[in-house]
Chains A and B, each alone.
Chain A
Amino acid sequence: MIELGALVFGPAGRRVPWLAIGTTFSVCVTVALARALQVESASDLLQVVRLTSVLMAAGAASCLEDGNEMVTAATPFGRLRRRLVAVLLTGLVTVGCWLIVVIGAAAVVHAPSGDPSLPVGGLLIELLGLMAFGWLVAAILMNRSSWRGSGMRAGLGVIIAALITITVARLARWLWPMPGRGWVEGHERWTAIAIVSIVVFMLTSRDPAARLPTQEG
């Protein structure tokens, strides 16, 4: 069992973009702590947390790059399953790092008692939606061209898409609501984005050699 785990998660662990996640984590920790020292309420950290989400999702988008696919493609462990393992591990690492940034920054704020806390649940949904979107972009790019460079282009795609949603007022209201009115609806949209992205990602990641399921099975 341990050998099987090492066989599956060892190579998958190597596919986690440690450098990208480490770099974004370092930058985000610095920015979040610098901001936390300036504000007097944890809720003022909302924009910094969103910035962290965008950057960490951009870093996580590069986990699909697999230089060894020429070799692993011949194994019985299909492309979709290989990608899902990489995505799962990268997602766990990214969410862990994100939580450290958010909880750490919120702890540093000198907030008076009764101060409204950060809505971590909703913000986590935004992070998951952004990550799913990044993986979808990466999968589409890899289908259209080679794996090389797809991660960084997908990461840039996440950042540019986020920047566009900030500047178009209607999109900003839909996707980046402030706590209160529109918060729940906004996160329903993020949930929809995450689900649709994951489904299309899975369809895009199917093994190109695999036949479509038929009625006969």
Chain B
Amino acid sequence: MTASTWAPELQLGYVEGKRLVRNPLVWIAGVVSIVWVAAYTPAIDLDQDRYILSVGYALAVLGFVAIAHTMLAVIRSRAYHTGELLDVLPVGPDRRSIGHGLSAVSGGLAAAAVTIVIVAMRGLEPSGQPWEAGVEGSPTVPQVNTAQILQGPIAIVVACLFVVALARWVPSWLIVVPLFVLTVVQLIFFGIWFGVATDNPLTWMWPMTTGVVHDGWTGCGPTDAICDLRVSGFDQTTPWWHLAYLVALCVWLVTIAVLRHRRDHTTWMVFSASTALVVALAIAQTMVAKDYVPGVIEFAVRR
């Protein structure tokens, strides 16, 4: 298979991707994300808020705009009654689905640009700084790692691909209703409220997860006699597995979209392989998260 075989998909992906990136709403959403993080005030807000925002949750508005744009792009032929015109092209809806899938990458790139600005603005604390206010000196708590920073943009790509697959099977703008509910659930029940324990397997199934390990470390305040204060920090291993899971999800979702119009041997093969990979990685990340052992923390008992 030569590069020219894929030329229509690449071209459609490029055109739709460019439309997404040039959409003024995407720019406004990016600014909102940055303002959201900039509004963080160290004296008032919790340190945790900044970490949670930097692992992708600040991209909520941008993500939803990208979702809405992708949905409108996929159902455009139906909404404007131009499907019959497009059907005379030599490239069928199955290959156009792949093109729409490729355009999701631009949503990820836009999210990556905003993430870079956010990280540059606020920076990340070097590993070893206390995570919770009031706990000074020790302990050495691992912070958000690169995998968690990458989680946001890749989660946006996954969300856009989910919409491509959904809109191919349910070609109506009303899918935005359950999508908004899912966005709210992701944001509130599996996100910004950082009290959610990550040892719940469901947490890792969602595109974004905080990666917080509750009470994994022990520390103390400056005036404590005994160092027995439980401190939360970040999982350092599972986020990498989670990234692999998200990439596998991308392939799986594109295959589901293609299956709407093409059910040949190759598509079923890719679907089966990607399903097996998604399930395997989902199980793997859950097991790793459950068995994650925080680094040994040395603490001194003050006398």
Residues of A within 8 A of B32 (CB): 164, 167-168
> B52 to nearest A CB, angstroms?
13
Binding stretch for chain A, among B58-66, B83-91, B105-113, B210-218: B58-66
Interface residues as binary, A40-78 with B (CB distance below 8 Å gives 1, 0 otherwise): 000000010001001100110000000000000000000
Task: Kindly state whether residue A20 has any CB partner on chain B within 8 Å.
Answer: yes
Beta-carbon contact of A169 and B61 below 8 Å: no
A31 cross-chain contacts in B, Cβ below 8 A:
181
Q: B36, B79, B188: which contacts A148 (Cβ < 8 A)? A: B79
Interface centre among A51, A59, A156 (most CB of B within 10 A): A156
What chain B residues lie within 8 Å of A23 (beta carbons)? 174, 177
Q: Does A163 contact B (CB under 8 A)?
A: yes
Q: How many residues of B contact A (CB 8 A)?
A: 26
Q: Is B72 on the interface with A (CB-CB < 8 A)? A: yes
Among A24, A149, A153, A160, the residue within 8 A (CB) of B177 is: A24
- Tell me if B80 and A149 are in contact (CB < 8 A): yes
Measured between beta carbons, the chain A residues less than 8 angstroms from B61 are 160, 163-164, 167
Closest to B41 in A: A169
Other-chain contact of A59, B33, B177, B188 (Cβ < 8 Å) = B177
- Closest A residue to B71 by beta carbon equals A156
B177, A152: Cβ atoms closer than 8 Å? no
Nearest CB to that of B63 among chain A residues?
A163
Q: Looking at A47, A54, A159, which has the most chain B CB atoms within 10 Å of its CB?
A: A159
Q: 0/1 per residue, A145-172, Cβ < 8 Å to B?
A: 0001100110110011001100111100
Please tell me the size bucket of the interface on A. 20 to 34
For the complex, give the distance between the alpha carbons of A148 and B29 in Å: 25
CB proximity to A under 8 Å, residues B32-78: 32-33, 35-36, 39, 60-61, 64-65, 68, 72
Cβ contact within 8 Å between A168 and B79: no
Cβ–Cβ < 8 Å partners of A7 in chain B = none
Partner of A163, one of B64, B80, B177, B181: B64
- CB pair B68–A156 under 8 Å, yes or no, is yes
Does B176 lie at the interface of the complex (its beta carbon under 8 Å from any beta carbon of A)? yes
| Pair B36/A27 contact, Cβ less than 8 Å | no
Q: Is B6 an interface residue, CB under 8 A from the partner?
A: no
B184 touches A160 (CB 8 A): no
| Interfacial chain B residues near A19, Cβ < 8 Å | 174
Q: Kindly list chain B residues whose C-beta atoms are within 8 Å of the C-beta of A149.
A: 72, 79-80
Q: Are B180 and A55 in contact (CB under 8 A)?
A: yes
Q: Is A27 touching B178 in the complex (CB atoms < 8 A)?
A: yes
CA distance A16 to B36 in the complex (A): 37
Q: Which one, B65, B68, B181, contacts A27 given CB within 8 A?
A: B181
Residues of A within 8 Å of B176, CB to CB, are 58, 152, 155-156, 159
How far, in whole Å, are A160 and B61 apart by their CA atoms in the complex? Answer: 7
**12 more CB-based (< 8 A) A-B contacts, given A19-B174, A24-B177:** A27-B177, A51-B184, A55-B180, A148-B79, A149-B79, A152-B72, A155-B173, A156-B176, A160-B61, A163-B61, A163-B64, A164-B28
Query: B residues touching A (Cβ–Cβ < 8 Å)?
Result: 25, 28-29, 32-33, 35-36, 39, 60-61, 64-65, 68, 72, 79-80, 173-174, 176-178, 180-181, 183-184, 188
17 A-B Cβ contacts within 8 A?
A: A19-B174, A24-B177, A27-B181, A54-B180, A59-B177, A153-B72, A155-B173, A156-B72, A159-B68, A160-B64, A160-B65, A163-B183, A164-B28, A167-B33, A167-B61, A168-B35, A170-B39
